[in-house]
Amino acid sequence: MRVLIAGAGGYLGGHLVKAALDAGHDVTGFVHTSATKLPPPAKTTIGDLNETSALQAALTGIDAAIFSAGRNWQPGLAISEYSRQNVSITESFFRALQTVNPHARVVFTSSMSAIAGSEDPIAFDEETGRNAVAEPRLNAYDRSKIECERLARTARERGSNVVILNPGLMLGPAANPQTKVTTTFLVHWHCLKKNPAIVAQGGHSFCDVRDVARAHVVALTRGGGQYLLGGENLSNLDFQRALSDQTGLGIPHQIPPIVPVLASAAMDAASLATLGFWKNPIHREFARSLPLYYWANSSRAARELDYKSRPLATTLRDTIADSIDNKAVPERFRYVADIDDENRLAMLLMHELANRHLHRSHLMPKLSKILAACRQNGTLNRALESALAAGTYDTDTGQFRWTAGRPAASLTTLNNLLDYCYYASDDFHARMMT
């Protein structure tokens, strides 16, 4: 099938190109700059999605198109830009489609922002409707996606073969190093401790961008109507706890929903005082929408598109590993990529001990190898198991709580291992640490 992917240079778009190639399609990516390099044998068309002539040329002769272009949240972006950059390109796309290729199959990427946004934790499905949506609290991005989806529905009502997919909040690695990743800033901020506080209420359906891409490609030839592509429905608080479960870092302070709104208003005043030279990074609209829930029930997509989002823990580990490779997260977090369900608690305990060590900057990048060395020694392994049996990991603080009394002797043994790993001979490091 000859497939055009609009937005092929984006976070989702890069995975769409790969998934479509893997499925055997003849792929052309529509990108806005020659700097975007697509994997062969994909072809590239460079153009502006607001230029009807460029779109008409790209849409001529194809069998199907995936429209995944658009603007996500960006700090400091003017509110009017969300409508201009999202709605205008959607209008141009369907106008060009109707002119040159009205019967082509179109898989249209929408968002849970176009479906959900409730004050109560409700998992929306394709038939829920908007009665539970807190319309006055929606932000500019939400409203732009609602309008974009309305345009897609209108095109379908006029005879176009359009299927609408609504992904949740996508995480996961980038398809290639040059991709500008947007939503993973949530993971980066957690690792870098850039997020001093959170609103516990509200939340998203967290899914993996690779699984969302695969569902889009399946929808080129199967299904019809609309599908919600969610994952794990978590509150803002529980998402931070899920991150803590993989990183060993505590969660930010919890604050009432009104605090970000007041803070944003204060920053508006500061921006005004500087005559606009300093811009408020978070508009009040987005601060006001923080406690809303954008949860999804993906049962229909599972039945008809074989959609399944992998466990969030796996996605978070892969996201952090990719972010380390791309220099967005420091190398000291490399241990996260080596965590699995079996060694997670042991790794988090060694992380806590290493993080308190005088030479933590030396030890942290080698944490996985230190744990492996510990497991190979009977005495050290018994000390580790004894410490783990005496405590539980507290996601809120990022520390172990000793429910059966502090295992001082075991912890001393493990700390001695860390000392040795720092002061050990070159021969030890060559054999055990490389």
pLDDT digits (tens, 9 = 90+) for 91-144: 999 999 999 999 999 999 999 999 999 999 999 999 999 999 999 999 999 999
pLDDT digits (tens, 9 = 90+) for 330-358: 999 999 999 999 999 999 999 999 999 99
What does the CA dihedral 316, 321, 325, 328 come to, rounded to 10 degrees? 40
Please determine, for residue 75, whether its predicted confidence score (pLDDT) is greater than 90.
no
**What is the model's pTM?**
0.94
d(CA 114, CA 133): 10
Please report the pLDDT score of residue 430 as a whole number: 62
Please report the pLDDT score of residue 272 as a whole number: 80
Please determine, for residue 422, whether its predicted confidence score (pLDDT) is greater than 70.
yes
Whose structure tokens read 């807190």?
134
Q: What is the mean pLDDT of residues 235-246?
A: 98
DSSP track, 250-302: PPPEEE-THHHHHHHHHHHHHHHHTTTSS--SS-HHHHHHTT-EEEE--HHHH
Provide the token pair at 163: 């299927």
| Number of alpha carbons in the 13 Å side-chain half-sphere of residue 380 | 17
d(CA 190, CA 247): 9
Alpha carbon distances (Å) from 71 to 15, 289, 406 = 17, 18, 51
Please report the pLDDT score of residue 178 as a whole number: 72
Provide the token pair at 313: 């823990």
